Copies of this chain bind each other. A is one copy, B any other.
């Protein structure tokens, strides 16, 4: 039985080497990248059997996505399509005061037409946890329905449902997001939200604990996790607030930090760890992720625990 199934879009990420500008570069590094597959991989690396399901174009590009995910240990269940594009995104790493720049080129991706027929529904029903994020319903009206139906199917089958708000301003407005996402909230057991998204999209105020309590009160979530960037994270579970600070990190690539956090948190929860312990794994995995090029947390559980245990690290030889 698979512990965790995730569903969403994974893109090809194209980025110039070093700090080169897209306008100047003669080559692009190629990686597979997407919130839900990032979460599946982080969870797998922390001990869960994880699968990502989606719809991809039946082309070298779609196969490149699968190759980029399977290599890190997860399984994939793909609906191969003759129609639809492979979504891509271009990433230009900045350094202060030049911001890191993301250019999405994901319109009309094959996944935007995915219905429940294209998703590994049986495996989702059999899994212990299902995860998707707010990016998925933002991609198309079809996906908005599909996410709703998949969450319902998971809920009916007794699969725990986890969801990260993951607001993307380039995909929809806060109001659109709020309306769409809150319609899904009754089907969600574990809600993850960045504090910023809670304020912008879900119209929440107060401190992070207030936000968690308010969301739990309104939607009866089993667990609410509020992530706060370099300020750490916080979870409400069984009426209790658990706070976790962030680990210091010298950032090589910031993309995918939140997904690493969520994947590790879910994996450790699946393995029976308490919420505070799972939060600590999440924070340590997120810190490690930032030291690794690409969207994906290519870590081992031992490395994560080493971050949790140790203050200073040196050369091991």
Contacts and interface: CB of A to CB of B under 8 A. Distances in A.
A196 to B, nearest CB: 10
Interface string A17-31: 111111111111111
A288 B72 CA distance: 27
Interface in A52-75: 59-61, 63-64, 66-68, 70-73
B60 A292 contact: no
A226 to B, nearest CB: 18
A290 to B, nearest CB: 9
Nearest to A97: B307
Contact of A99 (B14, B92, B94, B316): B316
Interface in A140-171: 168-170
Contacts of A90: 60-61
Chain A interface mostly helix, strand, loop or mixed? loop
Nearest to A70: B70
A182 interface: no
A248 B293 contact: no
Looking at A88, A96, A303, which has the most chain B CB atoms within 10 Å of its CB?
Answer: A96
A317 B170 contact: yes
Contact of A25 (B30, B104, B287): B30
B27 A67 contact: no
Contacts of A294: 24
B99 A315 contact: yes
B287 A250 contact: no
A70 B61 CA distance: 17
> In this complex, which of A70, A98, A108 has the most chain B Cβ atoms within 10 angstroms of its Cβ?
A98
Given A19-B252, A71-B71, A288 B97 contact: yes
A292 B22 CA distance: 11
A100 B72 CA distance: 21
